[in-house]
């Protein structure tokens, strides 16, 4: 299947489909025309304008006042890519590298960047042939674009740096020769067009958003199972309560729980207790707030991935080349910090439900085993969840509140959006693990309510889960069950 790169709106759902269904990319005729027209205009502009044009006929950053001779402009752009490839730390996962390539191609296709058509075509070839540049997570301030990581993305265009190809990390030059591809000779402005932009942080943000939506759905399913296992009450989930407050996510959560638990013997039986703890009773308010945050961040990231974010910006029809600041990551840095908090809260309340399930309350055995004392049962998975939740709380310190000036003060306010993005991804993975541990506990606890049955959707979910993770009669090694539970969340689309 082929996805045409064009000026048409690119949705988060479409991005997910492209990645999951392994679409190949192709530039639309309109995109080709816009890219070529912008490049032709820029070449004419350089022939006719005597005044310096930032980053095209001058140095970069605080070196913007130093003009560069025309015969050295190609070397200027190559030097930019080489000198800025200063990433370090862990490698960016392959699925996010593919997303970076997709978003960079999309941004360049609008015809405001001045790149050669062959440069964009090579990025398309990288995506389609899974020639994935080796990029590192640390090094971007998220202000003058994601300079360091996008430099690593760009090195292989020049036959430099490394790529992952067919499961191996190899020298990019060797792979290009093997495929019969000549290195790209960058023209004026192209290095800046490649390195300026928010595609590194946007890719992390989009990946995290896709996962956050998935985890939000799982949080409701697992929370409903926990409510059943804890012998909770359904009244806090009635429409009347949530309509008088009016938050969209809160109402959606309550309705989701009622759908999930419709027809359950357990939820409908008389209760000895008058009310439930907040971690159960306030699920609509907590899960709902996270849903609303996810929707808000989706709107911000959707705008971002449909934008031109490099600098300077070229407007052929208006005969303008403007040095401005569309590469600044502030709009999405704030949103990604917000999303990290919302996703972490799904884990925070999940761990509290796990704690209640193992506490020996409401006729459940302590630590969810028949012979506590001899068996520790599910005592320590809760420790693990608590440890992970604590780490996520630390990661939720907003990166976007910090700024460290760079480039001799020329770049004197930065977004730290790349740090917000990579922290967000860690919080997402942490929350997935915490929810997987809750599922392990809730499925175990449900067995102590037999022969009573839950609803058909919940019983179907538990039956599918039991094919991966067994009921625990007596103590056994638990970490493989935690990993199997994580994989269940990651690979199960519909129970």
Please tell me the distance from the alpha carbon of residue 352 to that of residue 390, in angstroms, as a whole number: 12
Cα–Cα distance list, 202 to 96, 194, 339 (Å): 10, 15, 13
Contact 369, 379 (CB under 8 A): no
Cα 291 to Cα 249: distance, rounded to the nearest angstrom: 5
Count of residues making up the chain: 495
Question: Cβ distance 239 to 255 under 8 Å?
Answer: yes
Chain centroid, CA 101 distance in Å: 15
Q: Of 23, 41, 54, 204, which is the active-site residue?
A: 54
Closest CA to 154 of 195, 95, 182: 195
Q: With b meaning 16 or more CB within 10 Å and e meaning fewer, what string describes 422-431?
A: bbbbebbbbb
149 with 418: CB under 8 angstroms?
A: yes
- Is 296 catalytic? The answer is no
The conformational region for residue 69 under phi > 0 = left, psi -120 to 50 = alpha, else beta, is: beta
How many CB atoms are closer than 10 A to CB 85? Answer: 22
C-alpha distances in Å from residue 138, one per residue of 148, 152, 203, 403: 8, 11, 15, 16
> Residues with catalytic annotation?
54
């Amino acid at each position: 299947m082929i996805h045409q790169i064009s000026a048409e709106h690119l949705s988060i759902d479409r991005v997910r489909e492209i990645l999951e269904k392994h679409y190949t990319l192709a530039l639309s005729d309109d995109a080709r025309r816009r890219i070529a027209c912008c490049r032709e205009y820029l070449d004419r502009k350089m022939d006719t304008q005597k005044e310096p044009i930032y980053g095209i006929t001058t140095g970069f950053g605080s070196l913007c006042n130093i003009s560069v001779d025309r015969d050295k402009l190609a070397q200027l752009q190559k030097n930019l890519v080489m000198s800025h490839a200063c990433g370090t730390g862990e490698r960016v996962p392959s699925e996010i590298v593919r997303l970076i390539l997709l978003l960079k191609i999309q941004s360049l296709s609008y015809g405001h960047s001045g790149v050669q058509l062959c440069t964009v075509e090579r990025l398309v070839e990288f995506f389609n042939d899974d020639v994935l540049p080796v990029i590192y997570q640390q090094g971007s301030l998220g202000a003058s674009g994601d300079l360091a990581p996008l430099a690593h993305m760009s090195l292989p265009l020049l036959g430099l740096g490394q790529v992952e190809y067919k499961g191996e990390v190899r020298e990019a030059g060797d792979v290009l020769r093997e495929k019969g591809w000549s290195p790209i000779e960058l023209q004026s402005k192209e290095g800046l067009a490649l390195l300026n932009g928010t595609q590194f942080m946007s890719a992390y943000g989009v990946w995290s958003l896709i996962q956050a939506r998935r985890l939000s759905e799982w949080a409701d399913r697992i929370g409903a199972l926990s409510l059943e296992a804890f012998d909770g009450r359904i009244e806090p989930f009635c429409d009347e309560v949530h309509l008088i407050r009016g938050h969209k996510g809160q109402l959606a959560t309550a309705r989701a729980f009622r759908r999930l638990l419709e027809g359950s013997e357990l939820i409908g039986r008389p209760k000895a207790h008058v009310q439930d703890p907040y971690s159960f009773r306030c699920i609509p308010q907590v899960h709902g707030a996270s849903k609303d945050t996810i929707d808000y961040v989706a709107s911000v990231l959707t705008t971002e991935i449909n934008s031109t974010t490099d600098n300077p910006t070229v407007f052929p029809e208006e005969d303008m080349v403007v040095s401005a600041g569309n590469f600044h990551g502030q709009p999405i840095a704030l949103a990604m910090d917000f999303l990290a908090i919302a996703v972490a809260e799904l884990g925070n309340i999940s761990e509290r439900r796990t704690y209640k399930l193992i506490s020996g309350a409401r006729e459940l055995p302590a630590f969810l085993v028949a012979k506590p004392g001899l068996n520790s049962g599910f005592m320590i998975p809760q420790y693990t969840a608590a440890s992970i939740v604590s780490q996520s709380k630390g990661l939720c310190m907003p990166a976007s509140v910090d700024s460290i000036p760079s480039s001799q003060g020329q770049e004197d306010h930065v977004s730290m959006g790349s740090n917000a993005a990579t922290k967000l991804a860690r919080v997402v993975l942490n929350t997935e693990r915490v929810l997987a541990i809750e599922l392990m506990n809730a499925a175990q606890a449900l067995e102590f309510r037999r022969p009573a049955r839950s609803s058909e959707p919940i019983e179907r979910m538990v039956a599918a889960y039991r094919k991966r993770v067994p009921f625990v009669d007596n103590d056994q090694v638990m970490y493989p069950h935690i990993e199997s539970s994580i994989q269940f969340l990651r690979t199960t689309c519909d129970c």
